[in-house]
Amino acid sequence: MRQPIGIELVRKGVITEEDITKALEYQKTHPNKKIGDILNTLGACDSNILIQAIGEILGEKAILLDERHLRINLEDYISMDVLKQNKAVPFEVENGKIKVCFADTANKRAVETIRLLLLNKGLVMDKYITFESNIEKVLKSFEGDSSNDIKSTTDITGLIDTIIKKAMDKRASDIHFEPMEDGIRIRYRIDGELYTVANLEDDKQAQIIGRLKAISNMHQEKQESQDGRILLYPDYNIRVSSQRNVYGEKFVLRLLKKNADLKEIFELGFPKDDALLNRAFNKRNSITIMAAPTGEGKTTTLYSVIAYLNRPEINITTIEDPVEIRIPGLNQIEIDAKTNFIDSLRTVLRQDPDIILVGEIRDKETAEIAMQAGQTGHYVLSTIHTIDSVEVITRLRKMGISNYDIASTLATSVSQRLVRKICPHCAVQRDFTKEEIDIMTQIGQKYNIEFDFNGKKTYDVVGCKHCNNSGYYDRTGIFEILIIDDKIRELITNDASTIKIKEEAIKGKYKPLVIDGINKVLDGTTTLQELNKKLVLF
């Protein structure tokens, strides 16, 4: 049997018996710390020599882990809460293997938990050991300084204000206040990803709920789901939603910047093709629909289209819930408790509009009125929740819109997703692997497209303070544009399936989302791993 690790270290000549005596004395007041970690804390010898010696004794690979070793975004693989609980840090992925550091490789439950989670993602774990203090330091640096700032605020008014302002500083789109079994978890959604920024004591829950309800004009006693708004911040319109769960009430705050800079559509990632842009959106007597799941940037793209079409001689009216960006020269109507899309759209049609933006087609009646508007000389822009541009046809059919109306009125459907852009401050350039090239080549062959890999490079994401240690900063859109030509119009009229419609579209200039995505991987905007996360390619 192996001797205690302290004795083994003495035998190796790494430390002295005196060091062991000091460590054992220290352990009396720190019973949860292991001898190896204590020897490192006491500076018994060089940290790198010490961890390598411990690794040899335990028969494990060892590394003196620090932020420089992080080659991935941790939460792309395992949530921060699970990593903290199991004292583990995944730090590098290569050829289907992921390197993971543990504070205690003898903790079989922790090791197996992490191994299975990674195996479910198709990754084989390569196990390492490091000091617990290094694990804690890396995880703390990954979360940033928000947690300390939040926890140091004592009064409840200041606490909520700090949480909201920190979210604004970090470009968060949403804030989650989540009551858990042992406290309240605060998370920010940044560039589409959720990050834990603080865990607060459970005894603050009642005060937090009271303050959030007070500033969002909700009923204090009511515990059913509620919606409200916070108008305390001049640059933001904050929508608030509450929902009771088994541990209390959860709140989600959506941060909408009132005067956000309106980007040109090419800045959003739309293919840089003026002719395509003109064919897709410069229409009359028709409807154009943006399609994507929730949170994929449909409304932002429509705003950019409206800005592109906006001219003094054109009357443009928008019907939105809520008005997210105010644009000079537009008539913008906000849906509230007294109005809805259907009634507002009927009224707008009597206001001599040229272009109408309807925030979302949610039901048959809205779809019918929008279609009628498109058939009577107006150009209508709207959004719908579907997976791609071709499925817009299926969605309209299921709402009860006739094939004739769809074929005669639908001019363009555009689908998009948002992918995170590589952080320019910390990314490390490298060659594409053979596996990556094979994946992209096979996808190209499926759609008769040949990608040029000559001289192209990709990047390993690392993480820095600029990007909240994620390796990515900001997002861009990937697009597919289905322009309804005569052949597709005939297929719709004849009730053809979306499979046949897509086959016909591919013969023309239609390219699926994945093609634009791969082009953005090849030009260094994003990574294949990020694209896979969004579209599941492999």
Whether 148 has a pLDDT exceeding 70, the answer reads no
Mean pLDDT of 69-80: 78
Q: Is the pLDDT of residue 1 over 50?
A: no
Domains 144-257 and 265-420+475-510 share a fold: no
Residue percentage of the chain with pLDDT more than 90: 58
pLDDT, average across residues 212-220: 93
Residue 257's pLDDT band (cuts 50, 70, 90): confident
How many Å apart are CA 139 and CA 144, to the nearest integer?
A: 9
What pLDDT, on the 0 to 100 scale, is given for residue 143? 61
Binned at pLDDT 50, 70 and 90, residue 181 comes out as confident
CATH of range 5-139; options 3.30.300.160, 3.30.830.10, 3.20.20.70, 3.40.50.360: 3.30.300.160
Closest by CA to 297, choosing from 229, 383, 370, 363, is: 383
* Mean pLDDT within 484-506: 96
pLDDT confidence tier of residue 382, bands split at 50, 70 and 90: very high
Lowest mean pLDDT among 229-233, 407-411, 413-417: 229-233
Burial-class residue 341 by CB neighbours within 10 Å (0-12, 13-18, 19+). buried
- The C-alpha angle 21, 27, 31, rounded to 5 degrees, equals 155
CATH 3.40.120.10 for domain 265-420+475-510? no
Tokens of 379: 């150009």
Contact 249, 260 (CB under 8 A): no
Computed over every residue of the chain, the mean pLDDT equals 89
In this predicted structure, the answer to whether residue 132 has a pLDDT above a threshold of 50 is yes
Q: Per 3-state DSSP, what percentage of the chain is helix, strand, and coil (rounded to 5)?
A: 40, 25, 35
Q: Which of 19-23, 180-184, 468-472 has the lowest mean pLDDT?
A: 468-472
* Topology classification of domain 144-257: Beta-Lactamase (3.30.450)
pLDDT at 49: 92
User: Is the pLDDT higher at 137 or at 167?
Assistant: 167
Give me the mean pLDDT over the 481-488 stretch: 96
- Domain boundaries in the chain? 5-139, 144-257, 265-420+475-510
Closest CA relative to residue 210, chosen from 159, 156, 255, 165 = 156
- Read off the pLDDT of each residue in 489-514 and give the average, rounded to a whole number: 95
Who contacts 310 (Cβ-Cβ below 8 Å, separation ≥6)?
316, 327, 329, 330
Residue 501: pLDDT above 70? yes
Percent residues over pLDDT 70 in the chain = 97
In this prediction, residues 354-362 reach a mean pLDDT of 91
pLDDT higher than 90, residue 340: no
Per-residue confidence (pLDDT) for residue 68, from 0 to 100: 76
The two tokens of residue 99 are 């390197």
Q: Is 64 exposed, middle or buried (0-12, 13-18, 19+ CB in 10 A)?
A: middle
Q: What is the mean pLDDT of residues 62-85?
A: 82
Cα 47 to Cα 59: distance, rounded to the nearest angstrom: 18
pLDDT at 63: 93
Q: What is the mean pLDDT of residues 237-265?
A: 89
Burial code (b: 16+ CB inside 10 Å, e: under 16) for 426-449 equals bbeeeebeeebeebbeebeeeeeb
Q: Which position has the higher pLDDT, 520 or 329?
A: 520
pLDDT at 37 over 70: yes
Single-letter residue type at 304: S
Whether 517 has a pLDDT exceeding 90, the answer reads yes
- What's the mean pLDDT in 222-237? 88
User: Which helix (H) or strand (E) is 57 found in, with range?
Assistant: helix 47-58
Q: Quick one: which of 136, 137, 110 has its CA closest to 125?
A: 110
Which is nearest to 485 in space by CA: 470, 507, 469? 507
Q: Which of 178-187, 217-226, 236-245, 412-421 has the highest mean pLDDT?
A: 412-421
Model pLDDT, residue 78? 85
CA dihedral sign, ordered 268, 274, 277, 283: positive
Q: Which range, 1-10, 150-159, 369-378, 488-497, has the best average confidence (pLDDT)?
A: 488-497
Whether the per-residue pLDDT at 138 is higher than 90: the answer is no
